[in-house]
Structures are given as structure tokens and as C-alpha cells.
């Protein structure tokens, strides 16, 4: 696949429209308070945002990843996101938001740490023709995952999970997304096997996003939703370098396991 500067810009634009936060560079804990009974319904009350914040993974919880807050100035909000109503739960998950309206939600971002290659360690002036593009692609070839926790009352979590599961099927042919004034297109949604600890129930999907309408270039993004009692944990992973080159990547199981461990 030829990787032009135009394609890089288009990739950035598409990714930004779905989840601008990724480009910056609560739930039940198994106690009586959390009310996790493993069933679809619960009489437990939703946790507060502060309680959810305490349950999020933190720096040091996942080896090889830097965990940091999502840039609030770049993060999307539900009132700015427009799409086919049945597909909105998928859009929200990919934007680092709760799949449906929740009494409380929060998120964080885990960025893969990697050692610089010989090419990446050179100064721009020292790079030969062709190495500049390789260096840029290498710099972008890191997994970036937004982890979202949302807490619900009653059967709210089960309903939120079901909305995502239904959308994976009904939106398989793709959908358009408008984030403020930015438009983008998902051309395909396909169910995937969930990775890591899957809680009470889990659903995962790959979304193919259009990068360049003229050339037909596209890139794949990965998302997963796991229900832990009255809590929904959402994961959205992108690797822009892999999207540009067509290489395979996946949601890091280590992140899912670390977050699940805090929700037991």
C-alpha cells in the first residue's frame, strides 16, 4: 500500500472525527455496594463518577503502557456526535463514551510505550529519502486504547450492553458519523472474539473506517464492551501506523485484564 502524506492526513481526519482524544500525545467492585450479582438486573444504585474514577486503571497498572487522562479539550461529547440512531452505541464506544446515557461515566487512555528504532532516533536532516515516511509510520505504530467505565441502576447495564450487541449486527454494513463539523464513514462492522477477562458478558467488533474516499483506502479499529454487574467497561483501540499499512493489531488483553481486576 502506498503511503502518501495525503493519506496520512486523511487517516488523521477520520480518526479524529470518531475519537479526537486518541490523537493527543465504576462500577461494581464485587462488594455489596457495587451490587454485582452477575445477572442482567440489580437493585444496586449506580456509582458516582468519583467512585468510577477510583476503579479506573492507573499509571503502573499495565506494564508497557502509559496511562494518562484523556484530553478533555479534544474529547467528543454525545451532543456533538450524529449518526444512525441504531448505530450510536458503537459511535459512543469508539468515542470513549458510555454506550447509552448513564448516571455516571469516566474514561482514561493507555498508550503503548515502545523503544525508538534506529530510523526514529535520527534527526530529520539525517534521514534519507524514504526514511522520513518510514519514521513517521513507525512513530504512529503504537496501540492507543481509551478505557471507559459507566455505571447504571437496575437493568441499565444489561440494556446498554444489549444495545451494543444489537448494533454490531444491525450496523454491519457501516454508517456515517458527524462529530461537530467533521464527517467520517465506517464502511463495515464485524464481530470479533473478545480478548482478556470477559466479565458477565462481552462483545467485540472491528470497525473499518474510510481513510481516503478517492482511493478507497481504509483502516481497521477495534472495540470491546464488557459488562461487570451494573458496570460497563468499554475499550477502543487504534494503531494509526497499522491502519495506514494494513497490519493486524488488536485490543491489548493486558489492559482488559488489568481493568477487570479492579472491577471484581
DSSP per position, 30-47: SSTTTT--SSS---PPPP
| C-alpha grid cell, residue 177 | 458519523
Give the integer Cα–Cα distance in Å for 13 and 163. Answer: 27
Q: Which of 244, 223, 222 lies closest to 232, judged by CA?
A: 223
pLDDT digits (tens, 9 = 90+) for 218-229: 899 999 999 999
Backbone φ, ψ for residue 210 (5° rounding): -75, 125
Render pLDDT for 138-187 as a digit per residue (tens, 0 to 9): 678 899 999 999 999 999 999 999 999 999 999 999 999 999 888 889 99
**Distance separating alpha carbons of residues 153 and 239, to the nearest angstrom:** 34
Cell numbers given for 42: 440489580
> Does residue 28 have a pLDDT over 70?
no
Q: Closest Cα partner for 107 from 220, 254, 236?
A: 236
In CATH terms, is domain 5-262 a member of 3.40.50.720?
Answer: no
**CA angle centred on 252, ends 31 and 255, rounded to 5°:** 30
Interior/surface letters 163-189, b for 16+ CB within 10 angstroms, e for the rest: bbbebbeebeebbbbebeeeebbbebb
Select, from the ranges 26-30, 101-105, 176-180, the one with the highest average predicted confidence (pLDDT).
101-105
pTM exceeds 0.75 for this model = yes
Amino acid at each position: 500500500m502506498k503511503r502518501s502524506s495525503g493519506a496520512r492526513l486523511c487517516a488523521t481526519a477520520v480518526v479524529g472525527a470518531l475519537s479526537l482524544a486518541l490523537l493527543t500525545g465504576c462500577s461494581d467492585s464485587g462488594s455489596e455496594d457495587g451490587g454485582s450479582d452477575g445477572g442482567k438486573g440489580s437493585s444496586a444504585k449506580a456509582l458516582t463518577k468519583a467512585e468510577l474514577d477510583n476503579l479506573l486503571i492507573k499509571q503502573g497498572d499495565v506494564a508497557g503502557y502509559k496511562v494518562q487522562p484523556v484530553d478533555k479539550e479534544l474529547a467528543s461529547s454525545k451532543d456533538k456526535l450524529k449518526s444512525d440512531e441504531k448505530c450510536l452505541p458503537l459511535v459512543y464506544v469508539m468515542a470513549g463514551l458510555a454506550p447509552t446515557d448513564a448516571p455516571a461515566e469516566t474514561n482514561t487512555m493507555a498508550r503503548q510505550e515502545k523503544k525508538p528504532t534506529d530510523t526514529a532516533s535520527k534527526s530529520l536532516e539525517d534521514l534519507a529519502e524514504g526514511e522520513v515516511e518510514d519514521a513517521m509510520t513507525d512513530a504512529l505504530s503504537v496501540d492507543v486504547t481509551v478505557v471507559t467505565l459507566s455505571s447504571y441502576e437496575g437493568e441499565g447495564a444489561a440494556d446498554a450492553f444489549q444495545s451494543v450487541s444489537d448494533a454490531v449486527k444491525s450496523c454491519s454494513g457501516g454508517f456515517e458519523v458527524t462529530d461537530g463539523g467533521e464527517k467520517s464513514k465506517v464502511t463495515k462492522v464485524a464481530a470479533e472474539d473478545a480478548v482478556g477477562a470477559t466479565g458477565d458478558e462481552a462483545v467485540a467488533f472491528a470497525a473499518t473506517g474510510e481513510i481516503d474516499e478517492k482511493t478507497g483506502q481504509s483502516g481497521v479499529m477495534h472495540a470491546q464492551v464488557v459488562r461487570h454487574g451494573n458496570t460497563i467497561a468499554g475499550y477502543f483501540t487504534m494503531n494509526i501506523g497499522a491502519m495506514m499499512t494494513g497490519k493486524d493489531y488488536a485490543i491489548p488483553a493486558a489492559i482488559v485484564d488489568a481493568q477487570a481486576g479492579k472491577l471484581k
